[in-house]
């Protein structure tokens, strides 16, 4: 199927609103496209970005203006005119644009001549050279669109090591100049604590060595701590329950759980951190038969909880959407699949219900999960994406992205996190 035909089918299936979800659009486009058009798909994916998609459905722009803007943006990316014509035609046919390549090219050439005339006029602004090599006098590069760099005198380095140009650190949120004056005082306080309690530090270090004894002690103490903690826990609080490897060296630590709901004599919790890097399945987006469900209720369940702790975990009836007899939108029948699970993943409905906003859905991985392959978005303060159990189109499953938005991923995608959820009997 050609790219234009694939876009037409996607619009029929998901309406034009699918253009607002770049990742879903590209994933569905790859699903519809055939191997004979593999090269065209690769060029299309590399050239078309999220902003271009949104511009295509911007009602405030006339179609001719959309075509002209696409032409210019694609030229700036270094595409040949043949590839530019191909991409614009791929949008024009399903969206009903009247596209004549020669007329658009003439308009662009005329606009470029006007731009050159403006650039040749003398300017009082100081010039600067962009990283792409273009000399500019405006605040943005005329070739690649990059912003003019700020003067180095405005840069400052936070105590966490991040170089910033804003008033607050983009990594830790500290205000410029806030921590430097307080840091020597804190160091002095730490030194005083070390001098006053050397015996306490030695005890902590010696407790780490006999691991078997430490686990036995935890299992003896935990039931008393859990009953008190669970009784007083409110929605939004964190409780500790079970143990699982969480350090980069595989050190076992108590699992922290966020309380999502309390209903009568039970409490719904989800792990605060992503505990493992897992794929959903090798090919299927059906929760009932998925690899990740088998792992959660098998290896993870037996490894994380003692026999006494397992008695507190409710065997819950879970309902999940499935599509039988084909793919979604192509003769598939939507049904509910019911499973009995001790441990499960949240559905899309539950992820929206129990978390008030995108920020609340953000999740970080443990050191252990990162070492085993979990992807960390460094630019987003170290957050990662995590699986939900609800299926999407074909071999796609819903997930929560690093920014907290509901997203989709292919079932065999690695680097995603498993965030177990469970109901605890009170």
Indicate the pLDDT class of residue 213, thresholds 50, 70 and 90.
very low
Mean pLDDT, the chain, rounded, equals 76
The pLDDT value recorded for residue 50 is 84
Both tokens of residue 108? Answer: 């662009």
The pLDDT value recorded for residue 191 is 43
Residue 93 in domain: yes
Is the model more confident about 377 or about 107?
A: 377
CA distances to 110, 111, 138, 184, 364 from 135, rounded to whole Å, are 22, 19, 10, 45, 42
CA distances to 139, 150, 154, 339 from 163, rounded to whole Å, are 21, 12, 10, 50
| Percent of the chain whose predicted confidence (pLDDT) is above 90 | 33
Average pLDDT over residues 38-48: 80
d(CA 186, CA 54): 50
Residue 379 in domain: yes
Average pLDDT over residues 390-395: 82
Of residues 62, 129, 131, the one with CA closest to residue 98: 62
pLDDT one-digit tens code per residue, 1-10: 678 787 877 7
Question: Is-contact 241 223, C-beta < 8 A?
Answer: no
The pLDDT value recorded for residue 140 is 62
pLDDT one-digit tens code per residue, 318-327: 998 776 544 4
7 contacts: CB under 8 Å, gap ≥ 6: 29, 90, 91, 93, 94
Give the side-chain half-sphere CA count within 13 A for 20.
Answer: 7
User: Which of 47, 79, 113 delimits the end of a domain?
Assistant: 113
Indicate the pLDDT class of residue 120, thresholds 50, 70 and 90.
very low
Answer yes or no: is pLDDT of 116 > 60: no
Question: Is-contact 168 175, C-beta < 8 A?
Answer: yes
The pLDDT value recorded for residue 91 is 85
R_g of the chain computed on alpha carbons = 28
Do you know the residue count of the chain? 426
**Max avg pLDDT among 14-18, 166-170, 342-346:** 342-346
Both tokens of residue 284? Answer: 């299927």
Residue 180 in domain: no
Answer yes or no: is pLDDT of 269 > 90: yes
The pLDDT value recorded for residue 211 is 41
CA distances to 160, 207, 242, 363, 378 from 400, rounded to whole Å, are 28, 38, 24, 9, 17
Quote the Cα angle for 45-47-52, to 5°: 95
The pLDDT value recorded for residue 372 is 92
Residue 38 in domain: yes
Indicate the pLDDT class of residue 198, thresholds 50, 70 and 90.
very low
User: Which of 72, 92, 113 delimits the end of a domain?
Assistant: 113
Task: Count other C-beta atoms under 10 Å from residue 241's C-beta.
Answer: 22
Average pLDDT over residues 390-397: 84
Answer yes or no: is pLDDT of 314 > 90: yes
Answer yes or no: is pLDDT of 402 > 70: yes
Average pLDDT over residues 59-68: 81
Residue 145 in domain: no
What is the extent of the structural domain holding 65?
3-113
**Max avg pLDDT among 37-41, 50-54, 295-299:** 295-299
The pLDDT value recorded for residue 5 is 80
Distance of CA 49 to the CA centre of its chain: 17
| Percent of the chain whose predicted confidence (pLDDT) is above 70 | 66
Answer yes or no: is pLDDT of 280 > 70: yes
The pLDDT value recorded for residue 88 is 85
Answer yes or no: is pLDDT of 125 > 80: no
- 229 and 108 in a single domain? The answer is no
Indicate the pLDDT class of residue 368, thresholds 50, 70 and 90.
very high
Average pLDDT over residues 382-392: 92
Residue 299 in domain: yes
d(CA 392, CA 411): 10
Q: How many domains does the chain have?
A: 2
User: Which of 64, 91, 113 delimits the end of a domain?
Assistant: 113
Of residues 326, 323, 328, 244, the one with CA closest to residue 288: 323
β-strand pairing of 238-245 with 252-263: antiparallel
- 79 and 223 in a single domain? The answer is no
CA distances to 237, 253, 270, 273, 390 from 363, rounded to whole Å, are 16, 18, 11, 6, 18
Residue 139 in domain: no
d(CA 21, CA 71): 22
Average pLDDT over residues 361-371: 95
Average pLDDT over residues 363-385: 89
Answer yes or no: is pLDDT of 200 > 50: no
Residue 162 in domain: no
Question: Is-contact 8 2, C-beta < 8 A?
Answer: no
Answer yes or no: is pLDDT of 126 > 60: yes
């Amino acid at each position: 199927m050609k790219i234009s035909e694939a876009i037409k089918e996607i619009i029929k299936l998901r309406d034009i609103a699918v253009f607002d979800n770049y990742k879903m659009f590209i994933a569905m486009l790859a699903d519809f496209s055939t191997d004979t058009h593999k090269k065209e798909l690769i060029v299309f994916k590399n050239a078309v970005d999220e902003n271009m998609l949104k511009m295509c459905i911007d009602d405030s722009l006339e179609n001719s203006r959309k075509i002209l803007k696409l032409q210019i943006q694609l030229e700036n990316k270094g595409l040949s005119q043949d590839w530019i014509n191909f991409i614009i035609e791929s949008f024009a046919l399903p969206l009903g644009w009247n596209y004549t390549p020669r007329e658009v090219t003439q308009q662009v050439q005329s606009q470029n001549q006007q731009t050159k005339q403006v650039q040749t006029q003398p300017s009082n602004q100081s010039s600067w050279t962009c990283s792409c090599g273009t000399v500019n006098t405006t605040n943005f590069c005329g070739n690649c669109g990059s912003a003019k760099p700020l003067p180095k005198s405005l840069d400052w380095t936070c105590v966490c090591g991040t170089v910033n140009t804003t008033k607050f650190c983009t990594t830790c949120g500290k205000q410029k100049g806030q921590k430097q004056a307080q840091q020597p005082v804190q160091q002095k306080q730490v030194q005083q604590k070390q001098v006053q309690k050397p015996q306490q530090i030695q005890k902590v270090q010696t407790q780490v060595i006999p691991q078997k004894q430490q686990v036995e002690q935890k299992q003896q103490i935990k039931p008393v701590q859990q009953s008190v903690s669970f009784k007083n826990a409110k929605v939004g609080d964190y409780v500790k329950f079970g143990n699982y490897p969480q350090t980069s060296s595989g050190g076992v630590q108590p699992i922290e759980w966020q309380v999502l709901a309390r209903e009568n004599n039970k409490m719904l919790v989800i792990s605060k951190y992503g505990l493992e890097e897992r794929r959903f399945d090798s090919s299927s987006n059906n929760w009932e038969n998925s690899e990740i469900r088998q792992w959660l209720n098998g290896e993870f369940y037996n490894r994380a909880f003692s026999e006494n702790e397992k008695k507190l975990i409710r065997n819950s009836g879970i309902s999940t959407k499935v599509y039988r007899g084909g793919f979604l939108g192509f003769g598939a029948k939507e049904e509910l699949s019911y499973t009995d699970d001790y441990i499960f993943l949240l559905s899309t409905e539950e992820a929206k219900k129990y978390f008030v906003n995108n920020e609340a859905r953000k999740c970080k991985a443990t050191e252990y999960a990162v070492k085993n392959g979990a992807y960390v978005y460094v630019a987003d303060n170290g957050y990662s994406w995590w699986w939900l159990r609800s299926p999407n189109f074909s071999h796609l499953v819903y997930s929560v992205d690093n920014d907290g938005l509901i997203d989709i991923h292919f079932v065999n995608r690695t680097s995603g996190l498993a965030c177990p959820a469970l109901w605890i009997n009170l």
